[in-house]
Amino acid sequence: MSASIKDVAAAAGVSVGTVSNVLNRPDRVSPAIVERVHATIDELGFVRNDAARQLRAGQSRSVGLIVLDSANPFFAEVARGAEERADAEGLSVLLGNSGPDGARENAYLDLFREQRVRGVLLTPSVPAAPGITHAGIPLVLMDGESADGSVPSVAVDDVEGGYLATRHLLERGRRRIAFVGGPLAVRQVIDRLAGARRALADVPGAHLEIVEKPELTVLAGRQVGEEFAARKREDRPDAVFCANDLLAVGVLQGAAILGSIRVPDDLAIIGYDDIAFAQSTVVPLSSVRQPAREIGATAIELLLESLADPAATPRRARFRPELVVRASTGG
Ligand code: RIB
């Protein structure tokens, strides 16, 4: 049977209250006592019972975080940002993946309600499940917004991001531009494409080809790159804007490494997110940076605001995208 908090107190020669303070309010205890109690905890193998603590304190120290796919570096960075900000508040983050179609989103929302977490940060599946804004638990949307503004949210202006990416290609003299992304029902893809169209409207004679893919993955991008390489030269685009960096990495592999296409000479490539890997591809990728860690940290701040004043008007935080130019577009 594992040691109890009473066993730790007896072995360390302090009261149970002192042990509790060492665990929850160490600033109220002398460093020597803190060190002695932690040494005793380690020696006895004591593990606090958070469920019992929650019942006594009436509040959980945990926050649920649901992302579409933590294997995608963008969402991993969002999670890191949330975790770092939560840690500064003495909170811990419980991570769940809802999957490419959000199939497990409701299951995780149910689990986090049962766990009595303080709230949930959610990158909504697409299209967002109906009623998601009334999840019965304090909710913050990340990388998405609620149509009626009833839920706090933090996202990037993806229309502006799509405009920046496409205008950059046009400024490099490209006129046969392919947009690669999907599903076209995904809000982020819709907005990025809308921004691309806005940029083309300013340049008569420029042409936009839309290549829809079911997933924003490296494999999907590679299939597109190989398809471009299989075309006759005059049928190929001279530039491609990918809805995220993973697609762009795939197009680079399929077109340049496996095909006969020179990047950027024959085909300029730009992605979206500016994941760390984008800098180290064989031809460093131009991209549109989303401040992923700041998005995660801001989501925690929005949740804390919502918990502090549930009646306050939900805040919508919006970050501006940033164009990052590298070799894949001639930078
Ligand atoms: O790379 C994952 C992509 O899914 C990101 O661009 C994010 O905004 C979402 O669209």
Q: Which of 117, 162, 156 is nearest to 135 (CA)?
A: 117
CB atoms near residue 206 (< 10 Å): 17
Topology of the domain comprising 158-290+324-329: Rossmann fold (3.40.50)
- The structural domains of the chain, with segments of one domain joined by +, span 5-48, 61-156+292-319, 158-290+324-329
Indicate which atom in ligand 1 lies nearest the CA of residue 143.
Answer: 8
Report how far ligand 1's centroid is from the alpha carbon of 273 (Å).
Answer: 7
Q: How many CA atoms lie within 13 A of 40 on its CB side?
A: 23
For ligand 1, residues with CB inside 6 Å are 72, 74, 143, 188, 216, 244, 246, 272-273
Topology of the domain comprising 5-48: 434 Repressor (Amino-terminal Domain) (1.10.260)
**Amino acid 57: pLDDT:** 59
Q: Same CATH topology for 61-156+292-319 and 158-290+324-329?
A: yes
Indicate which atom in ligand 1 lies nearest the CA of residue 243.
Answer: 6
Evaluate the omega torsion of the peptide bond into residue 26 and state whether it is cis, within 30 degrees of 0: no
The rounded distance, in Å, linking the Cα atoms of 260 and 231 is 11
Angle between the 16-24 and 31-44 helix axes, to the nearest 10 degrees? 100
Report how far ligand 1's centroid is from the alpha carbon of 150 (Å).
Answer: 23
Report how far ligand 1's centroid is from the alpha carbon of 69 (Å).
Answer: 10
Torsion-angle region of 80 (φ positive above 0: left; ψ -120 to 50: alpha; else: beta): alpha
Q: What residue's CA is closest to ligand 1, atom 10? A: 188
SS3 213: coil
48 Cβ contact partners less than 8 Å away, ≥ 6 residues apart: 5, 23
Report how far ligand 1's centroid is from the alpha carbon of 72 (Å).
Answer: 8
Contact 118, 93 (CB under 8 A): no
Report how far ligand 1's centroid is from the alpha carbon of 74 (Å).
Answer: 7
Report how far ligand 1's centroid is from the alpha carbon of 65 (Å).
Answer: 16
66 Cβ contact partners less than 8 Å away, ≥ 6 residues apart: 95, 96, 97, 98, 105, 108, 109, 112, 120, 121, 122, 123
Indicate which atom in ligand 1 lies nearest the CA of residue 273.
Answer: 6
Q: What is the pTM of this model?
A: 0.82
Q: φ and ψ at 41, to 5 degrees?
A: -60, -45
Evaluate the omega torsion of the peptide bond into residue 73 and state whether it is cis, within 30 degrees of 0: no
Return per-residue pLDDT of the chain as tens, 331 residues: 678 888 999 999 999 889 888 987 888 899 999 999 999 998 998 887 666 666 555 678 999 999 989 999 999 999 999 999 999 999 999 999 998 777 898 899 999 999 999 999 999 876 555 556 566 789 999 998 888 888 999 999 999 999 999 999 999 999 999 999 988 888 899 999 999 999 999 999 999 999 999 999 999 999 999 999 999 999 999 999 999 999 999 999 999 887 789 999 999 999 999 999 999 999 999 999 999 999 999 999 999 999 999 899 999 999 999 999 999 999 8
DSSP state of 296: H
Topology of the domain comprising 61-156+292-319: Rossmann fold (3.40.50)
Q: What residue's CA is closest to ligand 1, atom 3? A: 244
Report how far ligand 1's centroid is from the alpha carbon of 307 (Å).
Answer: 27
Q: Which of 78, 98, 188 to mutate to test the pocket of ligand 1 (most atoms within 8 A of CB)?
A: 188
Amino acid identity of 118? Answer: R
